[in-house]
Chain A
Amino acid sequence: MTEPLVELRDLTVTFTGGPKPVAAVNGVDLTLAPGETVALIGESGSGKSVTLRQILRLNPERRSRVSGQVRVAGLDVLRLSGTELAAYRGAVASMIFQEPLLALDPVYTLGDQIVEAICRHEAVSREDARRRALDLFERVRIPSAARRLEAYPHEMSGGMRQRAMIALALACRPKLLLADEPTTALDATVQIQVLLLLRDLQREFGLSILFVTHDIGAAVEVADRMAVMYAGRIVEAADARTIVRAPRHPYTIGLLKSRAHGALQKGQRLETIPGSPPDLANLPPGCAFADRCFLAADACRTTPPAAEGLAAGHQVRCFRSADTAAALA
Chain B
Amino acid sequence: MLAYIGRRVVYTVPIMLGVSLVCFALVHISPGDPLVSVLPADASEQLRLTMMRLYGFDRSYPEQFGLWLWRAVQGDLGTSIATGRAVATEVLRAAGNTLRLAALATVIGFVFGCLFGFVAGYFRDSWVDKLASLLSVIGVSVPHYWLGMVLVIVFSSQLGWLPATGAGPGGSSSWVWDWEHVSHMVLPAITMSVIPMGIIARTVRALVAEILAQEFVIGLKARGLNEVGVFAHVVKNAAPTALAVMGLQLGYLLGGSILIETVFSWPGTGFLLNAAIFQRDLPLLQGTILVLAMFFVLLNLAVDVVQTMLDPRIERG
Give every chain B residue within 8 A of A95 (Cβ-Cβ): 219, 222
Shortest Cβ distance from A152 into B: residue: B312
Q: Is the C-beta of A1 less than 8 angstroms from some C-beta in chain B?
A: no
In the complex, what residues of B have CB within 8 A of residue A107's CB?
236-237, 240, 311-313
Q: Mark B9-22, 1 if CB is under 8 A from A, else 0.
A: 00000000000000
- Chain B contact residues, majority secondary structure: helix
- Interchain CB contact (< 8 A) of B224 among A53, A91, A154: A91
B223 contacts A104, C-beta separation under 8 Å: no
Instruction: Give the CA-CA distance A56 to B223 in the complex, in Å.
Output: 10
Question: Is A128's CB within 8 Å of the partner chain B?
Answer: no
Residues of A within 8 A of B33 (CB): none
B238 (CB) vs chain A CBs: closest residue: A107
Report the bound CA distance from A113 to B233 in whole Å: 10
Q: Is B229 an interface residue (CB 8 A)?
A: yes
Q: Could you tell me the distance between the alpha carbons of A108 and B237 in the complex, rounded to whole angstroms?
A: 9
Residue in A closest to B227 when the chains form the complex, CB atoms: A82
Say yes or no: A106 contacts B215, CB within 8 Å. Answer: no
Q: A74 vs B146: C-alpha distance in the bound complex, in angstroms?
A: 66
Distance A88 CA – B221 CA, assembled complex (angstroms): 11
The residues of A that contact B313 with a CB separation of less than 8 Å are: 106-107, 152, 154
* B215 contacts A94, C-beta separation under 8 Å: no
B237 touches A86 (CB 8 A): no
B225 interface residue per 8 A CB criterion:
yes
Q: Given A99-B215, A120-B229, A154-B313, are A108 and B222 also a contact pair (CB < 8 Å)?
A: no
On whether the beta carbons of B224 and A120 are closer than 8 Å, the reply is: yes
Closest to B312 in A: A152
Q: Does A90 contact B (CB under 8 A)?
A: yes
> Which residue of chain A has its CB nearest to the CB of B225?
A120
Q: Which residue of B lies closest to A95 (CB)?
A: B222
Chain A positions 62-121 with a Cβ under 8 Å from a chain B Cβ: 82-83, 86-91, 94-95, 97, 99, 102-109, 113, 116-117, 120-121
Q: Write out the residue numbers on chain B whose beta carbons fall within 8 Å of the beta carbon of A154.
A: 312-313
Q: For the complex, what is the distance from the CA of A66 to the CA of B214, rounded to whole Å?
A: 23
B216 A104 Cβ-Cβ under 8 A:
yes
**What is the chain B residue whose CB lies nearest that of A103?**
B219
Residue A90 contacts which of B216, B223, B240, B312 (CB distance < 8 angstroms)?
A: B223
0/1 string, A47-67, CB within 8 A of B gives 1: 000000100101000000000
- CB-CB nearest in chain B for A87: B224
Bound: A119/B220 CA distance, A: 14
Contact present for B224 and A108 (CB under 8 Å): no
Choice from B215, B221, B233 contacting A89 with Cβ under 8 Å: B221
Given A58-B218, A154-B313; A108-B226 close (CB under 8 Å): no
B136-154 to A contact mask, C-beta < 8 Å, 1/0: 0000000000000000000
Cross-chain contact of A120 among B215, B219, B223 (Cβ < 8 A):
B223
Question: Which residues of the partner chain A approach B220 to less than 8 Å between Cβ atoms?
Answer: 105
Q: Answer whether residue A168 sits at the interface, using C-beta atoms and an 8 A cutoff.
A: yes
Whole-angstrom distance between the alpha carbons of A66 and B240 in the complex? Answer: 39
Question: Are B224's CB and A102's CB within 8 A?
Answer: no
Closest to A58 in B: B218
Q: Specify which of B222, B226, B237, B311 is in contact with A105 (CB 8 Å cutoff).
A: B237
A18 to B196 alpha-carbon distance, docked (Å): 36
Closest chain A residue to B239, Cβ basis: A107
Query: Are B218's CB and A94's CB within 8 A?
Result: no
Q: How far is the CA of A86 from the CA of B229 in the complex (A)?
A: 11
**A94, A120, A152, A154 — most chain B CB neighbours (10 Å):** A120
Q: Which of B231-284 contact A (CB under 8 A)?
A: 233, 236-237, 240
Which of the residues B215, B221, B233, B240 comes within 8 Å of A108, measured between beta carbons? B233
**B-chain residues with CB within 8 Å of residue A99 when the two chains form the complex:** 215
Residues of A within 8 A of B222 (CB): 56, 58, 89-90, 94-95
Which residues of chain B are within 8 angstroms of A88 by Cβ–Cβ distance? 224
Contact among B221, B226, B229, B312 with A106 in the assembled complex (CB-CB below 8 Å): B312
Contact (Cβ within 8 A) B224 A89:
yes
A97 touches B225 (CB 8 A): no
A97 neighbours in B (Cβ, 8 Å): 215, 219
Chain B positions within 8 Å of A117 at CB level: 223-225
Q: Which residues of A contact B219 (CB under 8 A)?
A: 95, 97, 103-105
- Whole-angstrom distance between the Cβ of B214 and the nearest chain A Cβ: 7
Q: Give every chain B residue within 8 A of A53 (Cβ-Cβ).
A: 218
Residues of B close to A56: CB separation below 8 A: 221-222
Query: A82 and B215 in contact (CB under 8 A), knowing A105-B220, A107-B313, A154-B313?
Result: no
In the complex, what's the smallest C-beta–C-beta distance from A256 to chain B, in angstroms?
Answer: 32
Given A106-B237, A106-B312, A108-B236, check contact A86 B225 (CB 8 Å).
Answer: yes
Q: Is the CB–CB distance between A121 and B237 below 8 Å?
A: no
The 9 listed contacts between A and B (C-beta, < 8 Å) are A58-B218, A86-B226, A89-B223, A97-B215, A99-B215, A106-B313, A107-B313, A152-B312, A154-B312
| Chain A residues at the B interface, C-beta cutoff of 8 Å | 53, 56, 58, 82-83, 86-91, 94-95, 97, 99, 102-109, 113, 116-117, 120-121, 152, 154, 168, 172
In the complex, the 8 A-B pairs of residues with the closest C-beta atoms, listed nearest first: A90-B224, A103-B219, A89-B224, A90-B223, A102-B215, A95-B222, A152-B312, A117-B223
Q: Beyond A113-B223, A120-B225, list 11 extra A-B contacts (CB 8 Å).
A: A56-B221, A58-B218, A58-B222, A89-B223, A89-B224, A95-B219, A99-B215, A102-B215, A103-B218, A107-B312, A120-B223
